[in-house]
Chains A and B, each alone.
Chain A
Amino acid sequence: QSVLTQPPSASGTPGQRVTISCSGSSSDIGINTVNWYQHLPGTAPKLLIYGNNNRPSGVPDRFSGSKSGTSASLAISGLQSEDEADYFCAVWDDRLSLYLFGIGTKVTVL
């Protein structure tokens, strides 16, 4: 099964900006919107960004998303210790009629 490509890890010091990439194809990211989740071990994944760049109510505006072609990015500005978590992207695949997920990027706050 196809998966979306993400870097395994990213890090930054408090206050810095961290960017996570998500690479797909013409049948998923190329034609559908991208969603991002924050996941802490043992807890339910939390929707962070939907529709490429929209934040659900309650999500700080430090989190932002963007998409270009078959790739997308999640940016965390003003990094905080509580942002230390796994982040994964998700997109609907029209060809397979299911959601595809990235393997996740572990963000470490140094």
Chain B
Amino acid sequence: QITLKESGPTLVKPTQTLTLTCSVSGFSLSTSGVGVGWIRQAPRKALESLALIYWDDDKLYNPSLKSRLSIRKDNSKNQVVLTMTNMDPVDTGTYYCAHSMGGSPFDPWGQGTLVIVSS
């Protein structure tokens, strides 16, 4: 059974850097075709793709946020880490990580972690 679980701080201050960890189980991050993506949802807004990392370490970023994002994975720890710099209150929302295989849609997703940006 594939599972993903997000973890990280609930509260960050403006201008700080956010680091989120996605801990996965039931699959290997080095298996050919595997991808793990980060998606967020601000209150009353649509979900927004942030970044995606593939088994071969290929990475895709949302062009509008690319300068602030970095995604990496640790195969031995079964973790995918997302960092977002210069956090702003508009970055408040629920952050999800999700599994993809061979270009298939994200499935399953983690339950999400709430991030509040406030001074």
Pick from A50, A96, A101: contact of B47, CB below 8 A: A101
Q: Are A3 and B46 in contact (CB under 8 A)?
A: yes
Check A90–B106 contact: CB distance below 8 A: yes
Q: Are B47 and A88 in contact (CB under 8 A)?
A: yes
Task: List residues of chain B with CB within 8 A of the CB of A97.
Answer: 60
What's the A-B contact tally at a CB cutoff of 8 Å?
55
A96 to B60 alpha-carbon distance, docked (Å) = 10
Inside 8 A of B77's CB, which chain A residues have their CB? Answer: none
Asked if A110 is an interface residue, CB under 8 A from chain B, the answer is: no
- B7 touches A (CB below 8 Å): no
Main secondary structure of the interface of B (DSSP, over half): loop
- Residues of A in contact with B, size category: 20 to 34
Q: Which of A43, A44, A50, A103 contacts B45 (CB 8 A)?
A: A103
**Minimal beta-carbon separation of A5 from chain B (angstroms):** 10
Shortest CB distance A51–B (Å) = 8
- Smallest CB gap from A45: residue in B: B109
Q: Which of B49, B98, B107, B111 contacts A98 (CB 8 A)?
A: B49
Interface check B102, CB cutoff 8 A: no
14 interchain pairs (CB within 8 A)?
Answer: A4-B46, A35-B105, A44-B109, A45-B98, A45-B109, A47-B106, A47-B108, A50-B105, A90-B106, A97-B60, A99-B106, A101-B39, A101-B46, A102-B46
Which 8 residue pairs of A and B lie closest in terms of their CB atoms, listed nearest first? Answer: A101-B47, A103-B46, A98-B49, A35-B105, A47-B107, A44-B109, A3-B46, A99-B49
If A47-B108, A99-B39 are given as contacts, then 10 extra A-B residue pairs at C-beta distance below 8 Å, sorted by A number, are A42-B111, A44-B108, A45-B109, A88-B46, A98-B49, A98-B52, A99-B49, A101-B47, A102-B46, A103-B46
